[in-house]
């Protein structure tokens, strides 16, 4: 007789399935396997329950019938198992088989995937394509702790979130239409010009790249203008000219001369005022990514991946949230008691637990699905270095938002030097408040001033007139680009980091301070000229708003998909008409980028040292003025070679970075100069 289950709970991943089983089981959790896929049998309130995890998405969109890779437009698509879509996803076949077997034995299905648009899409596809059912119950939770999971199970919704699922399916269709068609148009053009090079663009990727391009143009067009800064030093304290920037040289010289004419400064004014510094709001995903980049130089994608792991370990709440709010339904005291078991937080937690009320400082941003990121109170075990950093940052931010404002004393001293005024400012913390919790990550410093007296005179130790130039706008970093996408409502909290990562992968952008590459620039200019509407962030934003309406049940998917097709068809026809010309332009940019990538620095003769390959296939470096200059150096036989722009102080040759990637292991890297005989190496 076939073994039956009263309920089958389907989670997004095996690790989540294990957590759910452990939380709900009233006795022992029995672990079984279907092939390599684990599932868990438990009993609860007389019910026999199976819990199984998927492996994220098990289905993806693909063409109904396979056509040549340079064929476009493509609109006839369907959902297929991922193992059919791509060879790299063969592992998903066993997950589909396991879920199909278990669902055939289950009276009732409960979907317990992540509570967001992707999680709902994953659950919806599993339900209709594997379980062959029209509906299921839905567990909604923000942490993988026992209390939250039990509450989610006991209060499961009677149906899945059909509006959110339809919005998720529509998003995938739109992204596929944009990605496959525009990417194929670009690659087909390159193929016609005799090259093979992977290019892509997408519904959000295109506008994101254009943001970088526009900033690049701002920087290039920027014309620096001179200005002057005048300062003095009194008792070791630097004081700046009260008027700030001096835009005319003649004025700057006159003031400088006037100040130099006297040797003393009179204290014309001393004022002090206290200033409150309120606690920060708890983290949402984008705030966490920005802070982690500023403090640890972790990319947004690295931070997102680490936060996801911490969530799966039950250490923090769901990280893909835009909320800066902590609802009062969260048991703050219980979390604090858990956190108090970790030594570095004990003194701050003790202070908070003595409060009668725990009211967090919150920000303005909300998320219907999830609260701000917060610790669960579970004690971490065996975290990696970066996991420990992100966990500590989240905990300290959470603690800080319950604490009193910090208080600073700002002291302003105005010096009069021959009727020219200068200002020195001192900053002292007089009440630490939330600084006590967040101190390791504070970036402002105290500035202590000597005890100046009003109308007292003091010798002027230095007078400095500096000529400076105005600077162009800052380049984006990965973190600030993610924040810019959020500000412009492009992409989602879960996809923005991935989009920036793809721009790097496609070699459209480079560097920590992001520069657009020749091929990135050419993709933008071509799409601007021939497909301007699909590069328009307003259009992308319009579709995001329509997806939101689908999730709320006030717009229909087929209408929005039809509208997207109409936009794309007109654009793709124009690209196809100009394919040959576009291909030549793209190939020229590819060659330009590749030639620049080969340059490692300047030769001693003034030429460029470039990477070359010998007849044996081994890499070496030589001067591009050969045979006039015959300088050459060997290179490591393996690894990616990246120029650093720095020069060895000992031998004067360029310093390169070598990155070695080994499958299944972390990449290693080191810095070396080119000269194998450099004395520093000995």
Please write the tens of the pLDDT for every residue from 182-223: 999 999 988 888 888 888 899 999 999 999 999 999 999 999
Contact 395, 387 (CB under 8 A): no
Share above pLDDT 70 across residues of the chain, in percent, rounded to a whole number: 99
Residue 107's pLDDT band (cuts 50, 70, 90): very high
Residue 190, exposed/middle/buried by CB under 10 A (0-12, 13-18, 19+)? buried
Pairing of strands 226-234, 632-634: unpaired
CATH of domain 285-400: 1.10.290.10
438 is catalytic: no
Q: How far apart are CA 189 and CA 526, in angstroms?
A: 11
Q: Tokens 């006839």: give the residue.
A: 76
Residue 497 host element (H or E): helix 496-505
Beta strand 77-81 with 264-277: parallel, antiparallel or unpaired?
unpaired
Average pLDDT, the chain: 92
Give the pLDDT of residue 662.
Answer: 60
> If DSSP codes are grouped into helix, strand and coil, which group holds residue 355?
coil
Tell me how far the alpha carbon of residue 566 is from its chain's centroid.
32
Evaluate if residue 117 carries a pLDDT over 90: yes
Domain ranges of the chain: 5-160, 169-217+488-590, 226-278+406-469, 285-400, 603-673
CA distance 205 to 208: 5
Residue 601 has pLDDT above 90, yes or no: no
Prior bond of 554 cis (ω within 30°): no
Q: How high is the pLDDT of residue 670?
A: 85
Given a cut of 50, whether residue 1 has pLDDT beyond it is: no
264-313 pLDDT per residue, tens: 999 999 999 999 999 999 999 999 999 999 999 999 999 999 999 999 99
Q: Residue 382 pLDDT more than 80?
A: yes
Q: Quote the pLDDT of residue 666.
A: 58
Q: What is the DSSP string of 549-573?
A: HHHTTSS-HHHHHHHHHHHHHHHHH
Q: What is the CATH number of domain 226-278+406-469?
A: 2.70.20.10
Q: What is the DSSP letter of 448?
A: P
Domain 5-160 class in CATH: alpha beta
User: Beta-carbon neighbour count of residue 2 at 10 Å?
Assistant: 5
Residue bearing the bigger pLDDT, 110 or 648: 110
Mean pLDDT of 549-556: 92
Q: Residue 205, by phi and psi: left (phi above 0), alpha (psi -120 to 50) or beta?
A: alpha
- Stated pTM of the model: 0.86
Query: For the chain, how big is the Rg over CA atoms in Å?
Result: 31
More confident residue, 567 or 389: 389
Peptide bond into 627 cis (omega under 30): yes
Give the residue carrying structure tokens 């044996």: 616
Residue with tokens 């997950």: 95
| Residue 450 pLDDT greater than 70, yes or no | yes
* DSSP state at residue 377: S
Question: Contact 400/384 with Cβ under 8 angstroms?
Answer: no
Give residue for tokens 């868990």: 40
Quick: pLDDT tens for 613-644: 887 778 899 888 888 888 889 988 888 888 88
- How many residues are present in the chain? 682
Span 411-432, average pLDDT? 96
What pLDDT, in 10s, does the model give residues 54-86? Answer: 999 999 999 998 877 778 899 999 999 999 998
Question: Which residue is catalytic, options 5, 318, 345, 435?
Answer: 318
Average pLDDT on 367-393 reads: 95
Least confident of 197-206, 478-487, 579-588, 635-644: 635-644
**169-217+488-590, which class in CATH?**
mainly alpha
Give the burial class of 570: count Cβ atoms within 10 A of its Cβ; 0-12 exposed, 13-18 middle, 19 or more buried. exposed
Query: So what's the pLDDT on residue 592?
Result: 81
């Amino acid at each position: 007789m076939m073994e039956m289950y009263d309920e089958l709970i389907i989670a997004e991943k095996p690790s989540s399935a294990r957590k759910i089983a452990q939380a709900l089981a009233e006795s022992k959790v029995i672990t079984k396997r279907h092939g390599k896929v684990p599932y868990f049998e438990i009993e609860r309130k007389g019910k026999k329950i199976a819990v199984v995890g998927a492996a994220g998405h098990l289905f993806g969109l693909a063409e109904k019938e396979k056509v040549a890779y340079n064929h476009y437009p493509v609109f006839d698509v369907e959902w297929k198992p991922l193992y059919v879509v791509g060879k790299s996803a063969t592992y998903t076949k066993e997950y589909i088989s396991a879920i199909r077997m278990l669902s055939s034995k289950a009276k009732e299905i409960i979907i317990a995937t992540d509570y967001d648009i992707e999680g709902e899409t994953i659950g919806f596809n599993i339900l209709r394509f594997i379980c062959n059912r029209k509906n299921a119950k839905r567990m909604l939770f923000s942490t993988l702790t026992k209390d939250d999971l039990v509450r989610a199970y006991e209060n499961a919704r009677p149906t899945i979130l059909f509006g959110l699922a339809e919005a998720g399916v529509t998003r995938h269709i739109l992204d596929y239409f944009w990605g496959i068609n525009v990417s194929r148009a670009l690659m087909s053009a390159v193929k016609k010009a005799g090259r093979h090079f992977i290019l892509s663009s997408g519904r959000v990727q295109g506008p994101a790249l254009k943001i970088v391009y526009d900033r690049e143009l701002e920087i290039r067009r920027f014309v620096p203008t001179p200005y002057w800064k005048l300062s003095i030093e009194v008792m070791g304290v630097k004081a700046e000219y009260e008027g700030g920037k001096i835009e005319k040289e003649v004025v700057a010289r006159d003031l400088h001369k006037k100040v130099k004419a006297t040797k003393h400064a009179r204290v014309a004014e001393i004022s002090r005022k206290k200033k409150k510094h309120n606690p920060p709001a708890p983290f949402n995903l984008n705030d966490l990514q920005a802070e982690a980049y500023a403090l640890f130089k972790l990319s947004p994608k690295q931070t997102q991946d680490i936060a996801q792991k911490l969530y799966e370990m039950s250490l923090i709440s769901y990280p893909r949230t835009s909320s800066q709010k902590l609802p009062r339904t969260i048991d703050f005291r219980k979390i604090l008691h858990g956190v108090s078991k970790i030594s570095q937080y004990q003194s701050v937690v003790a202070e908070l637990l003595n409060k009668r009320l725990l009211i967090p400082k919150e920000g303005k941003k909300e998320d219907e699905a999830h609260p701000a990121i917060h610790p669960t109170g579970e004690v971490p075990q065996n975290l990696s270095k970066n996991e420990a950093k992100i966990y500590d940052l989240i905990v300290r931010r959470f603690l800080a938002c319950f604490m009193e404002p910090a208080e600073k004393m700002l002291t302003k001293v105005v010096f009069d030097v021959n009727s020219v005024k200068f200002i020195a400012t001192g900053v002292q913390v007089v009440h630490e408040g939330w600084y006590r919790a967040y101190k390791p990550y504070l970036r402002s410093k105290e500035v202590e001033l000597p005890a100046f007296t009003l109308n007292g005179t003091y010798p002027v130790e230095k007078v400095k007139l500096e000529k400076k130039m105005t600077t162009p706008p800052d380049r984006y970093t990965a973190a600030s680009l993610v924040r810019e996408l959020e500000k412009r409502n492009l992409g989602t909290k879960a996809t923005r980091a991935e989009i920036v990562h793809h721009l790097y992968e496609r070699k459209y952008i480079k560097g920590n301070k992001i520069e657009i590459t020749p091929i990135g620039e050419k993709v933008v200019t071509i799409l601007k000229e021939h497909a301007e509407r699909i590069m328009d962030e307003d259009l992308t934003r319009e579709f995001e708003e329509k997806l939101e309406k689908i999730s709320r049940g006030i717009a229909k998917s087929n209408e929005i998909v039809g509208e997207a097709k109409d936009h794309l068809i007109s654009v793709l026809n124009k690209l196809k008409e100009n394919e040959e010309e576009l291909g030549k332009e793209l190939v020229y940019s590819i060659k330009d980028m590749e030639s620049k990538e080969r340059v490692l620095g300047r030769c001693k003769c003034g030429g460029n040292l470039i990477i070359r390959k010998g007849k044996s296939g081994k890499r070496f470096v030589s001067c591009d003025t050969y045979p006039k200059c015959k300088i050459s150096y060997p290179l490591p036989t393996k690894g990616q070679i990246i120029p650093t722009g720095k020069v060895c102080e000992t031998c004067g040759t360029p310093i390169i970075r070598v990155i070695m990637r080994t499958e299944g292991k972390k990449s290693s890297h080191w810095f070396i100069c080119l000269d194998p005989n450099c004395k520093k190496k000995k």
